[in-house]
């Protein structure tokens, strides 16, 4: 489920919401771009399992993030790493 097709679906949904829900007039160009980029990266490098599984199996990601918002922190860090490249 957490693959490039899912990312494309979320990007398309964000684009639709920005255009059709009249957000165009409330967001500047940077905010629109940030919204689309966030949608594209929201599940970046998803391991295919949920946070509880990562914690209960002592996965290195769970240890790295001290069992707190493991996937969210991982997606965030993966996005920052990609942007730095």
Q: Would you state the pLDDT for residue 47? A: 94
Q: Average pLDDT over the chain, rounded to whole?
A: 94
The structure's pTM equals 0.82
Residues annotated within the binding site for Zn(2+) are 6, 42-43
Residues annotated within the binding site are 6, 42-43
Q: Which of 2, 56, 66, 74 is catalytic?
A: 2
Indicate if 56 belongs to the active site. no
Q: In the predicted model, is pLDDT for residue 31 greater than 90? A: yes
pLDDT single digits (tens) 60-79: 999 999 999 999 999 999 99
**C-alpha separations of 30 from 37, 48, 49 in Å:** 10, 31, 33
What is d(CA 22, CA 27) in angstroms, rounded to the nearest whole number? 9
């Amino acid at each position: 489920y957490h693959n490039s097709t899912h990312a494309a679906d979320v990007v398309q949904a964000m684009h639709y919401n920005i255009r059709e829900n009249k957000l165009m007039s409330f967001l500047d160009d940077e905010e629109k771009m940030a919204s689309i980029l966030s949608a594209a990266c929201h599940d970046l490098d998803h391991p295919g399992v949920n946070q509880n599984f990562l914690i209960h199996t002592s996965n290195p990601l769970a240890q790295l993030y001290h069992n707190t918002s493991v996937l969210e922190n991982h997606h965030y860090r993966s996005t920052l790493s990609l942007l730095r490249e």
